[in-house]
Structure 1
Amino acid sequence: MSETLLPGRGYRGRFAPSPTGPLHFGSLIAAVASFLDARVHGGEWLVRMEDVDTPRNVPGAADDILRTLEAFGFEWDGMVVHQSQRLGAYEEVLEGLKSVGLVYPCACSRKDIAALTTRQAVDGGLVYPGRCRSGLLLGETARAWRLRVDDREIAFDDRLQGRQVQHLADDVGDFVLRRADGLFAYQLAVIVDDHFQEITDVVRGADLLASTPRQIWLQRCLGYATPRYAHLPVATNPAGEKWSKQTLAPALPAAQAASEIVRALAFLGQPVTPELAGASVREVWAWALANWSFAAIPRCPALSAPAVPG
């Protein structure tokens, strides 16, 4: 598979946490891998706060995340972009899609969709059956705005997970760009921001792998370039659940920054040495930059997290 960057661009990667709580080990894996992949390519690494889903945001979490990144020795390029400050850009893009008929209003609730189909979508929901594609019925009010998908396959080569193929009409259906609560959907915001920041490489968790064909389709609809994608194995807890805020993943302890980075490197298949156990944060990063091997990252969607040091 190709390792070629987008034409005319140097490497630009990003780490894009959601401020729904403190950083945890699962977040650290994505931060470490995206940071090192950018730096070994001589590229830039940006931080974006994906706070467009405002009901889930925790007050103070964004600042806490940035302080944690600093305590762990991460250095990013440029200003931190906050999605909550870019609503006008998302509105402009959505209006453009409306003007050419690529999106349409939808009056369906989840209950309505469940009454029409039992087909499971790749993301765990239901495949949208297209009820509102031809227009709303008399007296109906739009709840959301959906992007039309074609009857075709979307395929891409993931740098870690290999060839991925998804038939959007069968596997997802027309998908939401503006939600019933008026908020912009993740799929729209992330694509607009990756284009705005000229991101060439997306290194993130495999829990987002199923979303990528939708994002590629939206990129094509907007005439945007498609970055390279690499979906890392997600860390699971002893119960086999993805480490996340929902599964009560503990916050990263700043006092153990060096050992936690070493733990993340080990999870990512890097040949960490016993000498790193007592190293400083600066020494760990120096070792990581000198020894980073993308080829060593396990090619699987999930892995059990290594034991906590000490």
Structure 2
Amino acid sequence: MDNLRKELLRPSAESKQEVSGKVVSYFAILLIGGLVGTILIFLTVKGIALFTGNHFSLREFLTGVNWQPGHHHFGALPMITTSFSVTVFSGLVALPLALVVAIAITEMLPSRVYKFFQPVIELLVGIPSVVYGYLGLTVIVPQLRQMFGGTGFGILAATCVLFLMILPTMTSMTIDSLRAVPQSYRQASTGLGATRWQTISRVILPSAKSGILTAMVFGMARAFGEALAVQMVIGNTTVMPKGVMESAATLTSVLTTGIGNTVMGTAANNALWSLALILLIMSLAFNLLIRLVSRKGVR
């Protein structure tokens, strides 16, 4: 009887595997959490060094328009303004086109069209950013120079490049949002006598609104953090932009061009880390906005 009781109470192989799986999962969570926490702490410490170690004014950093690290001038407002400008412009241009393409593919064209376009869109999403930058440098910039004069470099060129970069991502996410709307919604709307456009505009789009907004925010988040492609076409002039055809610089372009020309621990290097901290804060803000939009859609 005792042997039988021990045999019945002995942990099974499946329970041991479950324990092992939990240990591995908890270790992975701790590892990822530790890495993220380390990055956040490191960027925060380095980002505030300009204000704590070099005693530079935070207000002057955020509102100043003069960026000359060699003369101890660190006004980041031109780069912040340009970063938001190219992000908002590219998002506003890409969203309507992505929405039109998604509606056409999911609601109007045959299903075989979606099967054809799906791998094409995924291929465009996976193209490296340097390819888009080279396309902008060799095609977009010369065309803008011919159309509007000047050098062709500037906010408009960066907006065009970012538009091409985020359009496939926004289109793919918008298609997924429209396809997630239950088919019964379409059938009920049709049964009530609604036309196809009435069904799309009054039933499908409102139902997929949260997913569409998520696609827009996600695309703008990618545009805000893009560095290499923007650097190749924006002109990299750290002045307050006065027009879309004027050369300018974003936070990422200043970081990529300046980080190799400064000495670690100097005020100029600390200023670049402060720009990186702003990028981190904005990335977290975009992620928080995506979560808020998604939660609103779930409710």
Which bin holds the TM-score, normalised by the shorter protein?
A: under 0.3
Q: Which has the larger radius of gyration?
A: 2
**Higher RCO, 1 vs 2 (CA within 8 Å, ≥6 residues apart):** 2
Scaled by the length of structure 2, what TM-score is found? Answer: 0.23
* More strand as a share of residues: 1
Scaled by the length of structure 1, what TM-score is found? Answer: 0.23
* More helix as a share of residues: 2
